[in-house]
Structure 1
Amino acid sequence: YRSDDGGDTWRHLGLVETRHIGKVLVHPADPDVVYVAALGNLWRGNDERGVYRSRDGGATWDRILFIDEFTGAVDLVMDGASPGILYEATYQRLRRAWGFNGGGPGSGIYRTTDGGDNWNELTNGIPEGDKGRIGLAISESNPMVLNALVQHADPGEQGTYRSEDGGASWRRVSSMDPRPMYYSEIFIDPSEQNRVYVLGTSTYRSEDAGATWTEIAERPTYDVGVHADQHGLWIDPNDSNHLYLVGDAGLWETYDQGVNFRKLNNFAIGQFYAIGVDNRDPYWVYGGMQDNHSWMGPSETRRWIGIINDDWMQTGFGDGMYQQVDPTSHRYVYANSNGGSYYRLDAETGDMLD
């Protein structure tokens, strides 16, 4: 999709059968040139996958890199000083109702120096054999420096890799690569090429190019500290202490590289799996949220400011799912989570049975 009014309206630009988009990059000097990393259909092979390029602002697209019908493009980074140089990660995967194949010979790292007309696979130092998901990062201060998270069938080969010659050669610097299928997010500080961040259940920072790691955004308990499962990071190019971290519980901000975080809890972005209502008038709403427990809250309020977060009460844990309310007394609420746990809440006393 494309917006020409700052996001107020959007128009569709095609690539429907690619199904899943891994990354979109826009040429820094020519906004009509756009690159898309497309994963393709998760459930079957198809040809609509790989790297696509548009030279007319998304009106038309050309596929400029294709591996096979089961291998798509999952990540894409650009040399900001020489935008014709791009690095791309391919990812072979296929899901069936009975299982998931998250790797194969199609996964790898490719480079182009002519804006995508020609690509070469980068293999020097990258482990042979079946690889899974790969995440890429390029240094803005020194574009010859890259880091990659490489998932591999052999745990001894999986981890963080580093190149300091534009991808010509790579070396494994550590085993860091948390749950690749779900994360594979790596970032290099735009002002400091040796400071690298990796996202996972928590967030990790390295000051030595990825060799050793310190956990930031620590979680003393599940609900204290920064919420688990982080998927995106923005590093202020003018102040390396200033970061935005996004994950399963929303957006967090730090001004000291993660020593302290504050939660920006004013986005209506909770993802509900299922909702229900009780028999009250006005009724209350019950819902289970992805990785954010189960909740109940009013449908109306007398306050002029409307319904706020504090009006909601927790009814369950984990990935909240379905809820049922006792039809004879809304005091008792039954909730379950995706792992098969069930709870009964006494909404008046707060007591809970599992």
Structure 2
Amino acid sequence: DSTGVIDLVIHPTNPNVLLAATWEKDRKAWNFKEGGNGSAVYKSTDGGETWSKSVNGLPQGNFVGRIGLNISQSNPDVIYAIVDNQFEMKEERENDSDALTQTSFVEMSVKDFMKLDNKKLESFLRRNRFPEKYTASSVKADVDNGKYKPAALGEFLGDANAALFNTSIKGLEVYRSDNGGDSWKITHDYEIPGVYNTYGYYFGEIRVDPNDENTIYALGVPFIKSTDGGKSWEIKANNDPVHADQQALWINPNDSEHILLGNDGGLYESHDGGENFIHHNSEAVGQFYTVSVDMEKPYNIYGGLQDNGTFVGPSTSSPNRNRPWERLFGGDGMHVYANPQNSDIVYVGFQYGNYFRLDRDKGTTTGITPRHDVGEPRYRYNWNTPVNLSHHNPDVVYFGSQKLSRSLDRGETWTAISPDLTNDHPNGDVPYSTITTIAESPLDFNQIWVGTDDGNIQITRDGGASWTNVTGSIPKDLWVSEVHAS
């Protein structure tokens, strides 16, 4: 069964009255089903011995995701439910613009494609950062010659990271019950965008001021507040925006202006109801995905942090004495490497294969992510896509998708030096069957190992000309997190 209880509230004066939120989900390495018919609210009046469904007025169906609950301490008849509504709305096209979009090509015939205005097509290609080799004239010639169909232009733009934010689902909705959960009404008559995006499952928390049933806080990417029972909402933290992705909130029952907020950036405190915050950044709560060092003397330490970017700092730094660490890049910091011969050249990236080469001396940033050709299978990039520098030549960079790509010029150009090294399992809404680790032999430039998230360990001993699967008796389909060549 993929349904379980995700939240529970208890009546403050009658502990026999309980409300529970259930959530139907199914998370696999290749797909995340965020909702289902099992997502609902249940009520018990006998301390949990028996339960009845309490969904009158709440959305119901296979699009209902995670639900969070909170009960007013000052008026327990008032209960709020925050719902991740995954219902997908049809995208409305702007009437005042006839610009081409990614969806314009989905069902476009070759005949209609060839009639497109070249200036309009060229604008689409440049606006969406197609490689320079793709021009209006060249793609029309390719389509006319049958190299690929018009739909391939839209498919080329598929991007797992962009899909997190570019969405047409309803997202966050807030419902209120004034009769102890027997019936519900939505509190707002407009959409609240940018709070949940596609990953409302990550949040699901709503809090009611213990002294005012109409003052409520909803936690999502931003921190939002309503003082009119959810009719209108405002992003708070006016002095210095708090970190994204809110996870926990405590409201002082003796002073409603005093709140503590926990998020992916740590602990924040406010004494004016969220208008201004103090960041208590003294606790070591950061999570490093990766760590590396350069060859300076003394050496510097580089690290990619979960939702906190990429940082570098000296190995001689002393805790709590100074803050010499420097932020190099944003997003979820992933693999990071400094060129061992020139530490001003640093390779950094964030989720789903978005990598860049920094020249810290010149202050330049160059995107280096390999891209497939139009009409070919899209490269699949893991959340923590592996990148590695050669032990033998620091200008040589390796990059993993389902194939291993190699650059001989610091990421300016790429060549795939392998076929698909994964088991090529079907993908859902999560990139799967991807390379997760790369290890070049420090003794032999031609010997390279890779591991995949679907259980393969592959090796080449001739620089990628041929590959051997050496997984052997290792249990199938397990995530290979690290391979190290001796």
TM-score band, normalised by shorter chain? 0.7 to 0.9
Equivalent position of 2:38 in the other structure: 106
1:251-266 superposed matches below 5 A = 251-266=267-282
Cα distance per residue 1:123-143 (max 9 Å; x no partner): 222233232111111111111
Equivalent position of 2:14 in the other structure: 82
Equivalent position of 2:217 in the other structure: 197
1:275-294 superposed matches below 5 A = 275-294=291-310
What SS class does the counterpart of residue 311 from structure 1 fall into?
coil
**Distance in structure 2 (CA, Å) of the matches to 1:128 and 1:256:** 37
1:332-351 superposed matches below 5 A = 332-347=345-360, 349=361, 351=363
Q: What letter corresponds to residue 331 of structure 2 in structure 1? A: G
Does residue 1:239 correspond to 2:255, yes or no? Answer: yes
Pick closer, same or farther for the CA change 1:158–1:251 going to 2, 3 Å. Answer: closer
Equivalent position of 1:161 in the other structure: 175
Pick closer, same or farther for the CA change 1:341–1:158 going to 2, 3 Å. Answer: closer
What SS class does the counterpart of residue 91 from structure 1 fall into?
strand
Match of 1:145 among 71, 78, 81: 78
Cα distance per residue 1:192-232 (max 9 Å; x no partner): 0111111112111111211111221259xxxx521222121
Q: Does the 8 Å contact 2:248/2:261 carry over to 1?
A: yes
Q: Does the 8 Å contact 1:129/1:153 carry over to 2?
A: no
Pick closer, same or farther for the CA change 1:247–1:156 going to 2, 3 Å. Answer: closer
Equivalent position of 2:393 in the other structure: none
Q: Percent identity?
A: 42
1:307 CA displacement:
6.0
Aligned residues: 278
What SS class does the counterpart of residue 147 from structure 1 fall into?
strand
Greater strand percent: which structure?
Answer: 1
Pick closer, same or farther for the CA change 1:288–1:215 going to 2, 3 Å. Answer: same
Match of 2:335 among 319, 322, 337: 322
Does residue 1:173 correspond to 2:105, yes or no? Answer: no
1:107 CA displacement:
0.8
Q: Does the 8 Å contact 2:288/2:306 carry over to 1?
A: yes
Equivalent position of 1:215 in the other structure: 235
What SS class does the counterpart of residue 320 from structure 1 fall into?
coil
1:115 CA displacement:
2.0
Q: Does the 8 Å contact 1:290/1:320 carry over to 2?
A: yes
**Unpaired runs of at least 5, structure 2:** 88-168, 367-486
With 86-95 and 151-160 compared, the bigger mean Cα shift is at: 151-160
Cα distance per residue 1:11-32 (max 9 Å; x no partner): xxxxxxxxxxxxxxxxxxxxxx
**Distance in structure 2 (CA, Å) of the matches to 1:269 and 1:309:** 18
**Distance in structure 2 (CA, Å) of the matches to 1:215 and 1:185:** 16
Q: Does the 8 Å contact 1:93/1:100 carry over to 2?
A: yes
Q: Does the 8 Å contact 1:300/1:307 carry over to 2?
A: no
Equivalent position of 1:248 in the other structure: 264
Q: Give the alignment's TM-score, normalised by structure 2.
A: 0.54
Q: CA RMSD in A?
A: 2.2
1:92 CA displacement:
0.3
What SS class does the counterpart of residue 141 from structure 1 fall into?
coil
Match of 1:226 among 213, 233, 242: 242
Q: What letter corresponds to residue 165 of structure 1 in structure 2? A: N
**Unpaired runs of at least 5, structure 1:** 1-68
Match of 2:68 among 135, 138, 149: 135
Pick closer, same or farther for the CA change 1:202–1:321 going to 2, 3 Å. Answer: same
1:113-132 superposed matches below 5 A = 113-130=45-62, 131-132=64-65
Q: Does the 8 Å contact 2:40/2:60 carry over to 1?
A: no
Cα distance per residue 1:46-95 (max 9 Å; x no partner): xxxxxxxxxxxxxxxxxxxxxxx110111111112112222110000012
**Distance in structure 1 (CA, Å) of the matches to 2:217 and 2:241:** 18
Q: Give the alignment's TM-score, normalised by structure 1.
A: 0.73
Q: Does the 8 Å contact 2:220/2:245 carry over to 1?
A: yes
1:157 CA displacement:
10
Pick closer, same or farther for the CA change 1:172–1:306 going to 2, 3 Å. Answer: closer
Does residue 1:187 correspond to 2:207, yes or no? Answer: yes
Q: Does the 8 Å contact 2:333/2:350 carry over to 1?
A: yes
**Distance in structure 2 (CA, Å) of the matches to 1:176 and 1:338:** 25
With 179-188 and 277-286 compared, the bigger mean Cα shift is at: 277-286
Q: Does the 8 Å contact 1:336/1:343 carry over to 2?
A: yes
Does residue 1:95 correspond to 2:95, yes or no? Answer: no
1:260 CA displacement:
1.3
Equivalent position of 1:353 in the other structure: 365
Q: What letter corresponds to residue 237 of structure 1 in structure 2? A: P
Q: Does the 8 Å contact 2:209/2:216 carry over to 1?
A: yes
1:110 CA displacement:
0.8
Does residue 1:73 correspond to 2:5, yes or no? Answer: yes
Q: Does the 8 Å contact 2:238/2:276 carry over to 1?
A: no
Pick closer, same or farther for the CA change 1:127–1:317 going to 2, 3 Å. Answer: closer
Pick closer, same or farther for the CA change 1:320–1:218 going to 2, 3 Å. Answer: farther
Equivalent position of 1:14 in the other structure: none
**Distance in structure 2 (CA, Å) of the matches to 1:143 and 1:95:** 35
Pick closer, same or farther for the CA change 1:235–1:157 going to 2, 3 Å. Answer: closer
Q: Does the 8 Å contact 2:9/2:69 carry over to 1?
A: yes
Q: Does the 8 Å contact 1:202/1:218 carry over to 2?
A: no
Q: Does the 8 Å contact 1:73/1:91 carry over to 2?
A: yes
Is the radius of gyration larger for structure 1 or structure 2? 2
Pick closer, same or farther for the CA change 1:166–1:338 going to 2, 3 Å. Answer: same
Q: What letter corresponds to residue 329 of structure 2 in structure 1? A: G
